[in-house]
Amino acid sequence: MAVATSETLVEELNEMTPEALFTWALENHGDRAGIITSFQDTGCVMIDIMSRVAPGIRVITVDTLRLHEETYRLMEQVEQRYGITIERFTPDPARLRKMIAQHGEYLFFDSKAKQEYCCNLRKVEPNQRALETLDVWFTGLRRDHSAFRVDTPKAQIVDRKGRKLLKIAPLVDWDDDRINAYIREHDVPKSELYDKGYTSIGCKICTTPTLPGEDKRAGRWRWFNALNADDSKECGIHSGGSGI
């Protein structure tokens, strides 16, 4: 089903509750609607809400093949808890081998350009392949994640390689207190990494714990912090990929 691009529809979606958004997506787009998550706390809450009001919406993740062991364990726990099969999109094997052969396994330490190249191959391209199977993309973006995300709408039309799709962040206006209260109330599975000081979770090495008072995404590519004080700390999935 093609995505309607009506401004009125987007306005209506921006006023809906998370429950109503999942129900609407399943009723109107079926298996062309899906949650894409890296299994941070917001993603796990989305899966729990979806399981209650719109079971059957797809759950998708980009497996960069460099995730924390805690993330892989959480994925297994989520599958068992909700009786679902998580769809995993991975990097192109041939391109991955070529990148490592040319630049080494840890090229992301060398320069910002190589870090973006690695993210593009391991995350952005698999994410794009996942999006090609969707008309409605549910994401865990929240306005309190960083200054770069403070104006994120709940629903918007985005252009991905000339194709329009609905990008919905159903919990965009939730904060940590509300997320954690929901997790406690519904006993939602949560990553062990939060208890180790992580506030944003991606690939191992490229994600580190944060200190009190730091931006939630300060732990991303920390070795670039001093040189890139104004960096958006985005991998490219939500801002467009890059390469070298």
Task: Encode 119-165 in three state secondary structure.
Answer: HHHHHHHHHHHHHCCCCEEECCCCCCCCHHHCCCCCEEEEEECCEEE
3-state secondary structure of 107: helix
Which is higher by pLDDT, 143 or 62?
62
pTM: 0.88
Q: Which residue has the tokens 């924390």?
A: 68
pLDDT given at position 239: 52
Per-residue pLDDT tens over the stretch 131-171: 999 999 999 999 887 667 788 899 999 987 788 999 999 99
φ and ψ at residue 122, rounded to 5 degrees: -85, -30
> Of 175, 143, 140, 145, which Cα lies nearest the Cα of 46?
140
Place 233 in a pLDDT band, splitting at 50, 70 and 90. Answer: low
* Active site residue ranges: 235
Could you tell me which residues are beta bridge partners of residue 88? Answer: 61
DSSP symbols for 180-239: HHHHHHHT----GGGGGT-SS--BBTTB----TTS-TTTTBTGGGTTT-TT-----STTT
Interval 215-224 mean pLDDT: 86
pLDDT given at position 237: 63
Per-residue pLDDT tens over the stretch 107-123: 999 999 999 999 999 99
pLDDT given at position 231: 53
Say if residues 198 and 210 touch (Cβ distance below 8 Å). Answer: yes
Interval 177-199 mean pLDDT: 96
Please tell me what DSSP assigns to residue 4.
Answer: P
d(CA 137, CA 156): 10
Could you tell me which residues are beta bridge partners of residue 160? Answer: 163
Domains in the chain (CATH in brackets) are 7-91+134-224 (3.40.50.620)
Please tell me what DSSP assigns to residue 15.
Answer: T
d(CA 192, CA 174): 21
Q: Which of 34-48, 184-198, 225-239 has the lowest mean pLDDT?
A: 225-239
pLDDT for residue 85 is more than 60: yes
DSSP symbols for 24-35: HHHHHHGGGEEE
Which is higher by pLDDT, 146 or 76?
76
